[in-house]
Amino acid sequence: MKIQTALLARYAEVEPQGGLLNVTGGGVDVFGLRQLPAEFTVALALQLVFDEQEASVEHQLAALVRGPDLEMIGERMAWPITPRLGELHAPGWRGLFSIAGAITIAVEREGPHSLALQLDGAEAGDIPFQVLLDTA
């Protein structure tokens, strides 16, 4: 299993019937905050590809925020996921599994950050973002 697409967004949902990923404001990567430290909620949208033998098997998806010095900030977030093959799946092809939902990100200071993603305990990617102090 691997992450094909990962982004932060203003809104994201997965269509229940066909698994289509709908995203609004996808790729948002700058957050202006009025005070620090702070927590804010943002949508997370992911598309995973997986081999047929990985279907219907529970896996662990985790995310953690890394600060400007790559230190871990806040708590590690983790969710069980179970990808399934759709009814129109062609035998021999990899499956596609979409995930969308709101997450709360904790930050302590300005600067570059990232949301590190893990699949079954292994690093699987990250989403970089900037935090700015908005004093206006």
Tell me, what's the pLDDT at 5? 96
Tell me, what's the pLDDT at 29? 96
Q: What amino acid is encoded at 19 in this protein?
A: G
- Print pLDDT tens along the chain (136 aa): 999 999 999 999 998 877 789 999 999 999 999 999 999 999 999 999 999 999 999 999 999 999 999 999 988 999 999 998 887 888 889 999 999 999 999 999 999 999 999 999 999 999 999 999 987 6
Contact between 14 and 47 (Cβ < 8 Å): no
> pTM for the whole thing?
0.90
Torsion sign across C-alpha atoms 20, 7, 116, 66:
negative
Please give the domain boundaries of the chain with CATH numbers for all domains. 2-133 (2.60.40.2550)
Tell me, what's the pLDDT at 32? 94
Collect all residues with Cβ–Cβ distance below 8 Å to 51 and sequence separation of at least 6: 1, 94, 95
Torsion sign across C-alpha atoms 113, 106, 46, 21:
negative
Burial string for 106-126 (b: 16+ CB within 10 Å, else e) reads ebbeeeebbbbbbbeeeebbb
Collect all residues with Cβ–Cβ distance below 8 Å to 106 and sequence separation of at least 6: 37, 38, 39, 65, 73, 74, 75
Tell me, what's the pLDDT at 134? 84
Tell me, what's the pLDDT at 86? 80
